């Protein structure tokens, strides 16, 4: 899930669309009146905004996905998922031009009436809750590590500031909750842009530090998650695997789907684009996804080539045992923590808005409802972050369900229901294959993940 996948949700009602005929060269202006639209965002600015929407916590789990599928297997899957993501956006943009609708929920309503709108709203709520849980999980695991990096010794681990769950509760109540209570997204939208540069810095650190950790891994090294099997450490462990097939591979595609989901931000960014034609917005999408794919691939590859089979499902944790006081690792950890603190309230905003719309419709604003829904959402997210033992479970479960629906299934179904094009046309066949792929991927991944959980418990 992206850091800012929903930061433009507030713009849904501010965007205007036109040309019910679906002309690809007709800008999204107004409903038949004279054009009054002010100059919108430039092409480069829109690319940055969409990349900012794509990049998120998924980048921390992609090295583990590569270790679970092999380098070549990972590259193939990443290319397939990113290409399908771009194609599903192509279908959404065509529907936007054809119908004049500029929100994902309303497309669901047009395609499947009220049940469709409710279904999309529920999927967005679950997706955002999963994204917030992944961020709070990062906070739970990285905050004690950040504190330890400033200490002269590891200590016993019994101090309160080394308890990730306690720190998570304190930070959530003292920082996240007050920021989340604001009824307007306001300043959080501006500060969120910094998070993209944090992710870029993260990728740079992963590349640089690949040569700071020897392979085979040092002996007698243990961490709070796993004990490395040093008795089997050998040069063979430093040979990268090209293809890997195991139960862990079931987490790979959901993690990738989680990482490329930006579809709820596409239409608002389309509305903001200067000279917003479908072709121009598709170019924005292709450039953004290509650059994000490159950044994902670099960070995953060098993360995997640093730890090989011992790579963590949350990559930064792997550096604790070897580069505990390293300045670059410490600064990137602090940068990630800061982005998490600024992002969770941002993602909570559209989740709360969707819940209130599902429960109350378009009734006037109510502070009691606003507060209760905010507390309920953060309570659920906090419980998930506290009790989920591994971030890959969040990526796997959310990625195989709501991410696959929002990324593959819904765009295909909406196009087939709304476009009115014959089933033999290229896009209709593509939409059908998109639905089939999303359902098969989601069902197989979810089944293997559930079976793995049952056997491990």
Only one residue has tokens 């101090």, namely: 159
Question: What is the value of pTM for the model shown?
Answer: 0.82
Measured CA to CA, the distance from residue 377 to residue 190 in angstroms comes to 23
Per-residue confidence (pLDDT) for residue 119, from 0 to 100: 93
Per-residue confidence (pLDDT) for residue 189, from 0 to 100: 57
Per-residue confidence (pLDDT) for residue 232, from 0 to 100: 44
Measured CA to CA, the distance from residue 90 to residue 430 in angstroms comes to 11
Whether residue 117 contacts residue 109, with contact meaning beta carbons closer than 8 Å, is answered with yes
Per-residue confidence (pLDDT) for residue 8, from 0 to 100: 42
Per-residue confidence (pLDDT) for residue 361, from 0 to 100: 79
Measured CA to CA, the distance from residue 176 to residue 403 in angstroms comes to 24
* Closest to 50 measured CA to CA, from 263, 357, 368, 346: 263
Show me where the domains of the chain are located.
9-241+252-440
Sign of CA dihedral 104, 105, 110, 111: positive
Cα-Cα-Cα-Cα dihedral of 413, 415, 420, 426, to 10°?
-110
Burial (CB count <10 Å: 0-12, 13-18, 19+), residue 108: buried
Per-residue confidence (pLDDT) for residue 234, from 0 to 100: 53
Whether residue 48 contacts residue 262, with contact meaning beta carbons closer than 8 Å, is answered with no
Measured CA to CA, the distance from residue 173 to residue 378 in angstroms comes to 10
Percent helix / strand / coil, the chain, rounded to 5: 70, 0, 25
175 Cβ partners below 8 Å, 6+ apart?
341
Measured CA to CA, the distance from residue 4 to residue 160 in angstroms comes to 32
- Domain spanning 9-241+252-440: which superfamily? Amino acid/polyamine transporter I (1.20.1740.10)
Per-residue confidence (pLDDT) for residue 457, from 0 to 100: 66
* Regions of the chain short of the pLDDT cut 50: 1-14, 16-37, 220-233
Name residue 41's beta-bridge partners: 273
Three-class DSSP category at 18: coil
């Amino acid at each position: 899930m992206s850091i800012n996948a929903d930061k433009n949700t507030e713009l849904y009602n501010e965007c205007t669309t036109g040309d019910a005929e679906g002309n690809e060269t007709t800008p999204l202006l107004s409903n038949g009146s004279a054009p009054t639209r002010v100059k919108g965002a430039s092409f480069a600015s829109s690319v940055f905004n969409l990349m900012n929407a794509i990049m998120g916590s998924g980048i921390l789990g992609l090295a583990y996905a590569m270790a679970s599928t092999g380098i070549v297997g990972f590259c193939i899957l990443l290319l397939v998922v990113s290409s399908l993501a771009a194609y599903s956006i192509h279908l959404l943009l065509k529907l936007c031009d054809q119908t004049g609708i500029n929100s994902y929920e309303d497309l669901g309503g047009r395609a499947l009436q009220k049940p469709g709108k409710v279904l999309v709203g529920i999927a967005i709520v679950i997706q955002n809750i999963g994204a917030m849980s992944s961020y709070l999980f990062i906070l739970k695991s990285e905050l004690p590590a950040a504190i330890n990096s400033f200490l002269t010794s590891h200590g016993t681990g019994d101090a309160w500031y080394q308890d990730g769950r306690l720190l998570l509760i304190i930070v959530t109540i003292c920082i996240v909750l007050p920021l989340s209570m604001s009824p307007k997204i306001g300043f959080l939208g501006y500060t969120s842009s910094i998070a993209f540069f944090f992710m870029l810095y993260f990728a740079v650190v992963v590349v640089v530090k690949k040569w700071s950790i020897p392979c085979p891994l040092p002996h007698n090294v243990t961490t709070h998650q796993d004990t490395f099997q040093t008795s089997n450490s050998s040069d063979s462990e430093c040979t990268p695997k090209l293809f890997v097939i195991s139960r862990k591979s079931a987490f790979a595609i959901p993690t990738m789907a989680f990482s490329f989901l930006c579809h709820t931000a596409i239409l608002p960014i389309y509305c903001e684009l200067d000279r917003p034609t479908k072709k121009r917005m598709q170019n924005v999408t292709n450039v953004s996804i290509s650059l994000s794919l490159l950044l994902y691939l670099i960070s995953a590859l060098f993360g995997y080539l640093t730890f090989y089979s011992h790579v963590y499902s949350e990559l930064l944790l792997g550096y604790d045992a070897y580069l505990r006081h390293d300045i670059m690792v410490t600064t990137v950890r602090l940068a990630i923590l800061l982005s998490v603190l600024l992002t969770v309230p941002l993602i909570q905003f559209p989740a709360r808005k969707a819940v209130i719309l599902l429960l109350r419709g378009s009734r006037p604003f109510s502070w009691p409802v606003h507060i209760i829904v905010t507390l309920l959402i953060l309570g659920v997210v906090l419980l998930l972050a506290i009790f989920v033992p591994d971030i890959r479970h969040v990526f796997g479960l959310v990625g195989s369900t709501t991410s696959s629906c929002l990324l593959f299934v819904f765009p295909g179904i909406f196009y087939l229901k709304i476009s009115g094009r014959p089933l033999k046309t290229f896009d209709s066949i593509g939409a059908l294959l998109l639905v089939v792929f999303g359902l098969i991927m989601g069902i197989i991944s979810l089944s293997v993940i559930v079976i793995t959980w049952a056997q491990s418990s």
